[in-house]
A and B are shown apart, each in its own frame.
Chain A
């Protein structure tokens, strides 16, 4: 779940509005990023319209057809309850995407203010740094099991556990961006113009830190989707009979010999989705980072 975002250093001296269009154009010129974007969009549509796409209800059991290999009716085969694995994967995609997005939103909501304040007010910096260090020094899974014990395993628990684990990364990126931007001329100019702290943070620093955060978020989502799988694998994920890609893999574990397809397809789905998100993230990073294009 750790991302190399801590080393991101993206100089942004351009006004955000003009930048957007250029970034978009650069992404569209990158075939890999476009592939990623298309796959992500398809996945999002599948997740949203799962009930129309899935040929069977995700929880419809059929005890007469347990552990059937992939066929024309059941594209991904069936599990030990005779449930259609393709339908479960489509619904599972929904849960996984939801966990991925919500956990990133969660970590941004908490991490960004802390990072801003830590970077802007030197007094707060040591406090915030110690807190993030403490969080990082704590084994992630101890945290996750603890949360699951308090809240009970569920989608919300997974979101919070993964979100909390991502907070230090967000804080660090926001903090270093704030530190960098605070020293820049346009901020100094705003200060000279009599802008208050709130205005500085909201109008000048936060918008300019957005690009770094977008990149951070794009790489965090696939991390979170894999995180959901790990938590479900440990029995800390969504509640049955809800389907998630992680819980499908956990179910597959017992049937490695008799139903290998139960592990293969959900796993491949995660790989494809995460791959697409990472491609998109790379495209974004390249598009936002003039250094990359210069050396190209």
Chain B
């Protein structure tokens, strides 16, 4: 077991280093000079050279990279040349917005997804299954930003029930926070809900025909007990895995949602940084995303290998 953990940790480190190198070289390969973008309207060769030298952009790439890694290792992600603010601070302000939004979206997705999934599995060939399946299919087929547009049109403009934008932290004012985040979380969570629903359904179906459930039934347990106590509990493992894997997609999806509802989150920070060629910010953002993705996968893998030892033989889970 410890050897497996060690190997996974090593693999994760390699992936992380690869990701930082790829982003480091990648953004520098993009057309669009950060100095020119920074200079804005007042640009002349001398100004551009001065900007480049003050941010070390005139150094050879390996030197720039090593310097960055050296600083990043001590937790210093540098300053954004554009705003002059610490990258770590900016990320620190943006991340909670996205985390709260994602947590809310996840909650919605899991509630709707598992509920509908259980219904669909238990009530096979009944209207309830059709309805649950229909909702899931819709969730997969609706572009989430269009759903957002429609919700804004309907619930924020035609009938102004919810605000069209803005963010209030849950820890400052829970009621206002929910009011502001409900629509964006619904938009962000819709696709995920569909995926969770389908996974729950198929895992439940499999579990319901499995031997231990049959045994439980044979022992005379009521069907609610069987469904909730045994089958669902086992299906949850699969769902947790999926949710873990989808978290990266959730954060990507947050970019569009944040754009639509103008939330000062991580996604918006990312897109703005790329559009303005804010190198330190892009590097910081990718570092954080990659670390989160890798950590989540590592945890899921390890959990999985604890649950099902066969996984270790095949390498990475799933």
Identify the A interface with B (CB < 8 A).
1-2, 4, 6-7, 125-126, 129-131, 133-134, 136-142, 145-146, 149-150, 172, 179, 222, 226, 229-230, 233-234, 249, 252-253, 256-257, 260, 263-264, 267, 270-271, 274-275, 277-279, 282, 291, 295-296
Contacts and interface: CB of A to CB of B under 8 A. Distances in A.
B255 A257 contact: no
Contacts of A278: 137, 140-141
6 contacts: A6-B318, A138-B22, A146-B274, A222-B140, A264-B150, A267-B150
B143 A270 contact: yes
A233 B137 CA distance: 23
Interface string B122-134: 0011000000000
B22 A134 contact: yes
Nearest to A1: B249
A279 B136 CA distance: 11
B15 A134 contact: yes
* Number of chain B interface residues as a range: 35 or more
Interface of B: 11, 14-16, 18-19, 22-23, 26-27, 29-32, 124-125, 137-138, 140-146, 149-150, 152-153, 157, 195, 198-199, 205-206, 208-209, 238, 242, 245-246, 248-249, 251-252, 255-256, 259, 267, 270-271, 274-275, 282, 285-286, 289-290, 293-294, 297, 314-316, 318
Contacts of A138: 19, 22-23, 286, 289-290
A125 B29 CA distance: 29
Contacts of A142: 23, 270, 274, 282, 285-286
A233 B256 contact: yes
A222 B143 CA distance: 10
Contact of B252 (A140, A149, A260): A140
Given A137-B19, A142-B286, A233-B256, 15 more contacts: A4-B242, A129-B11, A133-B294, A134-B18, A137-B290, A146-B27, A226-B143, A229-B143, A249-B143, A252-B149, A260-B153, A275-B138, A278-B140, A282-B137, A296-B125
A249 B267 CA distance: 21
A4 B289 contact: no
A193 B108 CA distance: 55
Q: Sorted from nearest, which 4 A-B pairs have the closest CB atoms?
A: A274-B141, A267-B146, A137-B290, A275-B141
A274 B136 CA distance: 12
A145 B293 contact: no
Given A130-B14, A230-B256, A256-B149, A274 B140 contact: yes
Contacts of A264: 150
Given A133-B294, A137-B293, A7 B199 contact: yes
A234 B30 contact: no
Nearest to B266: A139
A139 B285 contact: yes
B210 to A, nearest CB: 11
A151 to B, nearest CB: 10
A136 B248 contact: yes
Given A233-B256, A257-B157, A271-B141, A137 B294 contact: yes
